[in-house]
Amino acid sequence: MEIKSTQFDMTNPFAPLQERVNQVETVLRQMPSAQREQLLAEMLPPMPMHHPAPAIEPAVTMVTVKVEEWDGGPVVQQRYPTTALRPRRIVGYIPWQWRWIVAGIRLTRMMRKSAKQQMKQFNKLQRQMIRRVLPRRNAMRGARAR
């Protein structure tokens, strides 16, 4: 059995279909013209005639319709927003040791923050003093240049 190379050739995935179309075209060419036209008329449905769209579209007409049994209220019923039920922490008894630990953590944070602010202020003052005592080019106001 012979395997055609085009069967596994995926460079053109439509190759088998094109091959089949070529075979059909050659068979049609070999038929007599009367028989060919009859066969094509049987196989192909008649093409619908194309009607071009009118250049000017007809005007749109707005129509009001009477609605029975409507009191003029809102049409859509408003739904209440869905409530998200989150589990709440039940505050129980906290032993005095834990209270001391929490107080210590908070005190440590406050001390660190205070120390950081004082260090920042001290460095700023130190820079100002160095500028006042040892100015190089442009001395600060009220300072003597050396």
The chain-wide mean pLDDT, for the chain, equals: 78
Instruction: Determine, yes or no, domain membership for 69.
Output: no
Instruction: Determine, yes or no, domain membership for 132.
Output: yes
Instruction: Determine, yes or no, domain membership for 138.
Output: yes
- Residue 76: the pLDDT is 66
Distance of CA 146 to the CA centre of its chain: 65
Dist. CA 128–CA 146, nearest whole Å: 16
Dist. CA 146–CA 139, nearest whole Å: 9
Helix spans in the chain (H): 15-30, 33-43, 96-133
Dist. CA 70–CA 76, nearest whole Å: 12
**Count of domains in the chain?**
1
Instruction: Determine, yes or no, domain membership for 49.
Output: no
DSSP, collapsed to helix, strand or coil, labels residue 140 as: coil
Instruction: Kindly report, residue by residue over 16-72, the tens digit of the pLDDT.
Output: 888 888 998 898 888 888 888 888 788 776 666 666 666 677 777 888 877 677 677
Instruction: Determine, yes or no, domain membership for 71.
Output: no
Instruction: Determine, yes or no, domain membership for 15.
Output: no
Instruction: Kindly report, residue by residue over 97-107, the tens digit of the pLDDT.
Output: 999 999 999 99
How long, in residues, is the chain? 146
Instruction: Kindly report, residue by residue over 69-123, the tens digit of the pLDDT.
Output: 767 776 666 677 777 788 877 778 889 999 999 999 999 999 999 999 999 999 9
The domain in which residue 141 lies consists of: 99-146
Q: Amino acid identity of 145?
A: A
Instruction: Determine, yes or no, domain membership for 139.
Output: yes
